[in-house]
Amino acid sequence: MKILRAIVRLMIRHATVVLLLAVLLSFSLLSPKFLVSSNLVNILIQSSSLAILAIGMTFVLLTAGIDLSVGSAMFVVGVVSGKLVISGLSLWWAIPLALAVGMLFGLVNAFFIVRLRIIPFIVTLATFYAGRGLGLLISETRAINLPESFLQIGSSRLLGIPMPVLILLVVLLLAHFVLSGTQFGRQVYAIGHNSDKARKAGIPVDRILIGVYLICGLCAAIGRLVALAQLGAVSPTFGYQNEFMAIAAAVLGGTSLFGGKGNILPGTLVGALLIQAIQNGLVVINADPYLYPVVTGMVIFLIVMIDSLRHKSAQKALRTKTAA
Amino acid sequence: MKSKTDSEALKHNPEAGSSNKLIGNLLRNPENTIVYVCLFYYLVMAFIAPGFFTVNNSWNILFNLMPLMIVAVGQTFVMLGAGIDLSVTSVVAMASIIGGYLLSDMTALVEPVWLRMVMGLGAMVLAGGLIGFLNGLAVTRLGMPAFMVTLTTMILFSGTAIWLTRSQNLYLLPENFVNLTYSSLLFVPYPLLIGLIVISAAWFLLNKTLFGEWLLASGMNSKTAYLSGVPVSKTLVKAYVLSGCCAAVASILYTARLETGSPVMGQHILLDVIGAVVIGGTSLFGGVGKIHWTVVGAVFMTLLDNSLNLLGLSYFLIMIVKGLVILLAALLNLMQVRKLT
Amino acid sequence: MLLKLQNIRKSFGKVEVLKGISLSLERGQILALIGENGAGKSTLMNLLGGVFTPSDGDMQLNGNAYLPDSPIAAQIKGIAFIHQELNLFPNLSIAENLFINQFPIKKLAGFSLIDRRTMRERAVELLRQVGLQIRPEVKVEELSPAQQQLVEIAKALSAHPQIIIFDEPTTSLSRHEANQLFELVFQLKAKGIAMIYISHNLDDVHLLADRIAVLRDGELVKLDVKEAVDIQGMVKAMVGREMSEFFPARKVLPDTKRLLLVENLTAKGFVTALDFHLNRQEVVGFYGLVGAGRSEMARILYGLDRFDTGNIYLNGRLIQKPNPADSIKNRMAFLTEDRREEGLLLGMDIQKNVQLAALSRFSRGIFRRIDRKRAGGQVSDTVQSAKTRYNSVTGQPVSTLSGGNQQKVVLAKWLLTAPELLILDEPTKGIDIGAKREIYGLINQLVEKGSSVLLISSELEELLGLCDRILVMSQGRITASFTKPMFDRNAILEAALHKQSETLPT
């Protein structure tokens, strides 16, 4: 009985991991083609773009901010890099330029948030609009097809590891180290708990916020390039609602929308994998494509619900403890 | 100094909203800069945008404004309660296909047509209310963050609307319904009439009733409110239901105007809606905001859209400008808050 | 001479807040700084702490000119400021909090990484200095308020301060914990660290200080060694007049009619088998350590928390499942400990705050329309009777009021509901003496008009002065009961502490 309760508690604590396993298990029961190594690698490849984006988003969420503009940033990055490559610029120039565009987005957000003290929700809502408009303007609302060379990067392997997964791995490890092993990372958590307190404690709040939005923009750009290398084209709806998926992935991984709580490894990674596993599984079992968003929506709802209930019981436990 | 005279004025006249004082208050109150900006913008555009200052275009603006304003008013209730409702777009879509299905001559579920209309419109509003109720329950009873709840219900119900209709529009809506946009009662076009009714009802609810006071208190500090006997959960659920119902009413106007029930109806209005509320000055943190602020915010968003179109700006340039304007409005708002404190 | 202030002045706009203060402090000396709220204590300390710069005057540290332009600059010069509101991040570990701004760093392939081992070692050493035996990896949110206070002090020590400023450090501590803190203070003193101690608790001040400085209206009205000033003298200097009638006698005696009866009330982990009653027009006080279960009991009675077994009768009627809305209907009122989070709508005006609990009484019709005229009239009457000082009932957010006036606003909110039973949880916490006295007066008026009061307080003086009966709680149980003239200070204190050591943890 005691063991059972302990297991239940453990499962609730790691609800996202348990759910990921449950999703993997149920799809593998529904289709023999799901739980095979080639498909699992597929899931990894497919989720790499979202995961990278969500990693950047996690930084922002940890400071109690939000970045609604990443989808638009991705779109602009895609359009710019597409245009550049088509116009004959070598990839070695196009890629750094694309990354710079992403960071520029972050810098603009940071400027309004840090210098003018407008709340992140409004700032990034505005850059969401402006960015999407800008992208449409540059692309003249036409899809841009990229040359083969770009696609080849996407399907290439290094040491047997597919390029997108490799990039994800590098970003993941770097981000994890920055967050948990550097002064910058720990101060991000401090700011997320209370930025006024952080300022009083002498933490360079403004500089860190700028850094965080730069990281988010950079991740958006990297994530976009990874996706581009797989898709080979930029459509006018490219990156649309990606910001919501990235936020969902981070929150599923346990990052709080109110700042100061959460992590990238395993949190955000598991969140992104979970979303992608569902999408992939639905394809593998030949589900009605119209059902994808319905199922995804329900699963996210379920996880957020479990997470909230867990917080409720945790609060109760904490109260008992202090009184005893 | 300014704030002092204002509070003095309020002290001597606690019913500061009454009709003949309204205009005076609007002019005196520093928080109404957005009203001047709107008026100024309107005047400038009247000169430079071709075809802006015409009867035809004025009707156009009005018809575009009404549904947006109605959704934004509903959203204001939720934001006053320190929440956010991202699911309004999916409510518009769901209500549109439900209405389309029930009203259409293709299905012709019920005769006579007027009974079908009553049923159809009723079902639309009911659907909106139900989705709002679901949001409200999840936020209050399960303690889920409003942003995530309504984000998932947005994905869920948009998906459901598309799934149910297989992405097909529902045509052949009854003549009476389609004519809603162009017919009028006592010379007041129905969309305007509906809009006015919604604003007045919302204003009354917020400023004159117990519900309004409770909502503001719950949004400002839910702990204090609960301790003081305010039924916080019930009040917040009501706010979400109102938001859902408002979005459904807007869906009636959209559906009638486009003459189809569409599962992607309203997909792009979310940011316009939130923009309108925020430009109006309602706080995202709850407890601070007014219905007429939101109305002005919606007017401004609509004016912007309409005038830039007339100036021949492309859709994407309009988006850029809208983005900048939201920032500018937020900045203005902030400068006032700083001046006051 | 470690620190020397000469003729310090500070003005905000045209208002002069400090009018020429001269003070000095030597190594290993404790200077107590007392005064009513608004007397200028915080401003003076903020000058020392680098938050503000003085308008005029001279500050010297170790004989050199001292003019910090930021809290960090002050810290570097050796002045640490421990604020009443702790500046800790509960989501981070103890060690991370200690070094939040200067983590020990090691270089790895060009990256500056946190050197966890060094950080741990240094954290353990700092925690040892303050006598806290907890692993530095533990998150601060898992610590008790007292432990958090110690972490804050450890953090201050990490910068090797010459002077530590304490601003009301004991407000969230139990008596026992406060005594532990005082031990630490004496240890630091022995090491030669000078301290400035700000408190409203005059007993503590008398216990700790070498010298006592009293501020009033921006002026230093008294500065003397502790032996030369007694508590009466301190009060007199702070308020500027004799306070003979600090606790005026009530004109009525408790009724014999019973208002509240609690039988065997138990909520696991919080309170155990509480039996007590409260008569009409009676003031019953609850004394005990922080965490003894007093606030929990009040929250249960009012319906904020659940209980497992027991019966609550109000006016002889069994209350099944209490909740705040019903409690208000039953004419109960509850002023909680946390005025900002649970008592006020900080961004709203006095009108909205005061009318909140009685709102439904002003509404009528199917739309529950509010009768603003009636509400407005009653609110301004009540606010005035509560002696609140304000500029405007509407249009001035309560966040701009002083702590004492904020508390009066909360009190006015409950007065407006005309309660029969008023539960007050630490009603005078962090409030200056003048406002305290007015609140005592209000409590007496209320009882004279027929209400009963359940008063929870950690200030024994207050309970002795106001109550008809005092019940003492310890570890969730009522351990002693005293009835008016038979109040025995020592017995009360003993009952609050004694049981603590006797009962073994189960």
* pLDDT tens column, B291-326: 998 999 999 999 988 998 898 888 888 888 888 887
pLDDT score, position C172: 74
Q: Which residues of A touch B269 (CB under 8 A)?
A: none
**DSSP state at residue B261:** B
Residue A290 lies in domain: 19-316
Return the biggest CA–CA distance within chain C: 80
Q: Which residues of C touch B7 (CB under 8 A)?
A: 391-392, 394-396
Is the Cα dihedral C218, C222, C224, C230 positive or negative? negative
Chain A contact for C1, CB < 8 A? no
Containing H/E element for C482?
Answer: strand C477-483
Q: How far is C30 from chain A (nearest CA, A)?
A: 25
Is the pLDDT assigned to residue B170 strictly greater than 80?
yes
Question: Do the Cβ atoms of A137 and B316 come within 8 Å?
Answer: yes
Identify which has the larger pLDDT, A78 or C258: C258
Does a structural domain hold residue A88? yes
Cβ neighbours of C12 (radius 10 Å): 10
Helix ranges (DSSP H) in C18-62: 41-48
Is the pLDDT assigned to residue B16 strictly greater than 60?
no
- Once rounded to an integer, what is the mean pLDDT over residues B246-264? 92
| Residue type present at position B334 | L
Q: What phi and psi, each to the nearest 5 degrees, are found at residue C123?
A: -65, -45
Identify which has the larger pLDDT, C13 or B75: B75
**Cα(C98)–Cα(C431) distance, integer angstroms:** 31
Does a structural domain hold residue A8? no
Chain A contact for B191, CB < 8 A? no
> CB-CB: which of A182, A202, A318 is closest to C72?
A202
Does a structural domain hold residue A12? no
Question: Do the Cβ atoms of C394 and B225 come within 8 Å?
Answer: no
| Residue type present at position C78 | G
Domains, chain B, with CATH or none: 31-340 (1.10.3470)
Identify which has the larger pLDDT, C174 or A240: C174
Q: Which of B292, B279, B293, B283 is nearest to B325 (CA)?
A: B279
Q: Which residues of C touch B226 (CB under 8 A)?
A: 324
**Cα(A240)–Cα(A135) distance, integer angstroms:** 12
Question: Do the Cβ atoms of A193 and C105 come within 8 Å?
Answer: no
Q: What phi and psi, each to the nearest 5 degrees, are found at residue A234?
A: -110, 110
Q: Which residues of C touch B228 (CB under 8 A)?
A: 324, 328, 356-357, 413
Q: Identify the CATH number of the domain in which residue A87 sits.
A: 1.10.3470
Identify which has the larger pLDDT, C201 or B341: C201
Is the pLDDT assigned to residue A324 strictly greater than 70?
no
Question: Do the Cβ atoms of A297 and B155 come within 8 Å?
Answer: yes
pLDDT score, position C502: 43
Question: Do the Cβ atoms of B221 and C344 come within 8 Å?
Answer: yes
Does a structural domain hold residue A11? no
Q: How far is B73 from chain A (nearest CA, A)?
A: 18
Per-position DSSP letters for B16-48, written without gaps between them: TTSHHHHHHHHHH-GGGHHHHHHHHHHHHHHHH
Question: Do the Cβ atoms of B323 and A130 come within 8 Å?
Answer: yes
Tokens of B53: 């200052």
Question: Confidence band (pLDDT; 50, 70, 90) for A236?
Answer: low
Q: Which residues of B touch C423 (CB under 8 A)?
A: none
**Cα(C199)–Cα(C41) distance, integer angstroms:** 10
> CB-CB: which of C89, C112, C144 is closest to A322?
C144
Rg (alpha carbons) of chain B, rounded to whole number: 20
A171 contact partners, CB below 8 Å, separation of at least 6: A52, A55, A219, A222
**Cα(B256)–Cα(B92) distance, integer angstroms:** 12
Chain B contact for C334, CB < 8 A? yes
* pLDDT tens column, A181-198: 999 999 999 999 999 889
pLDDT score, position B5: 37
CB C439 within 8 A of CB C402: no
Neighbours of chain A (3+ CB pairs under 8 A): B, C
Question: Confidence band (pLDDT; 50, 70, 90) for B24?
Answer: low
* pLDDT tens column, A277-299: 988 898 888 888 888 888 888 88
Does a structural domain hold residue A302? yes
Report cis status (omega within 30 of 0) of the bond before A266: yes
Question: Do the Cβ atoms of C111 and A189 come within 8 Å?
Answer: no
> CB-CB: which of B3, B210, B227 is closest to C342?
B227
pLDDT score, position B157: 93
Is the pLDDT assigned to residue B17 strictly greater than 70?
no
Does a structural domain hold residue A6? no
**Cα(C174)–Cα(C474) distance, integer angstroms:** 12
Does a structural domain hold residue A272? yes
> CB-CB: which of C348, C367, C373 is closest to B220?
C348
**Cα(C74)–Cα(C46) distance, integer angstroms:** 10
Question: Confidence band (pLDDT; 50, 70, 90) for A239?
Answer: low
Cite the beta strand spans of C15-55 per DSSP E: 15-25, 30-34
Question: Do the Cβ atoms of A182 and C92 come within 8 Å?
Answer: no
Q: How far is A247 from chain C (nearest CA, A)?
A: 21
Domains, chain C, with CATH or none: 3-239 (3.40.50.300), 245-331+420-431+452-506 (3.40.50.300), 338-418 (no CATH)
**Cα(C294)–Cα(C296) distance, integer angstroms:** 5
Q: What phi and psi, each to the nearest 5 degrees, are found at residue C213?
A: -115, 130
Chain B contact for C356, CB < 8 A? yes
Neighbours of chain B (3+ CB pairs under 8 A): A, C
Does a structural domain hold residue A126? yes
pLDDT score, position C301: 95
- Once rounded to an integer, what is the mean pLDDT over residues B26-52? 79
Identify which has the larger pLDDT, C410 or B27: C410
Question: Do the Cβ atoms of B316 and A135 come within 8 Å?
Answer: yes
Question: Do the Cβ atoms of C324 and B226 come within 8 Å?
Answer: yes
List the single best residue of A304, A306, A315 to mutate versus B (max B Cβ within 10 A). Answer: A304
| Residue type present at position C430 | G
Structural domain tally of chain A?
1
Chain A contact for C91, CB < 8 A? yes
pLDDT score, position C139: 93
Is the pLDDT assigned to residue B216 strictly greater than 70?
yes
Neighbours of chain C (3+ CB pairs under 8 A): A, B
Q: How far is B74 from chain A (nearest CA, A)?
A: 19
B97 contact partners, CB below 8 Å, separation of at least 6: B161, B164, B165, B170, B261, B262, B263
Chain B contact for C306, CB < 8 A? no
Tokens of C443: 């409590």
Is the pLDDT assigned to residue B22 strictly greater than 70?
no
> CB-CB: which of C324, C359, C367 is closest to B227?
C324
pLDDT 10s digit of each residue in chain C, 506 long?
A: 899 999 999 988 777 888 899 999 999 999 999 887 668 888 899 899 888 889 999 999 998 999 888 888 888 899 998 887 888 999 999 999 999 988 998 888 778 889 999 999 999 999 998 888 899 999 998 888 888 988 998 998 888 899 999 988 887 777 778 888 899 999 999 999 999 999 877 888 888 999 999 998 888 998 989 888 888 788 778 776 655 567 778 888 888 899 999 999 999 888 999 999 999 999 999 998 777 889 999 999 999 999 999 999 999 999 988 999 999 999 999 999 888 889 999 989 999 999 999 999 999 888 889 999 999 999 999 998 888 888 888 878 898 888 889 999 999 999 999 999 999 999 987 787 788 888 999 999 999 999 999 999 887 878 888 999 999 998 889 999 999 888 887 788 778 765 444 443 33
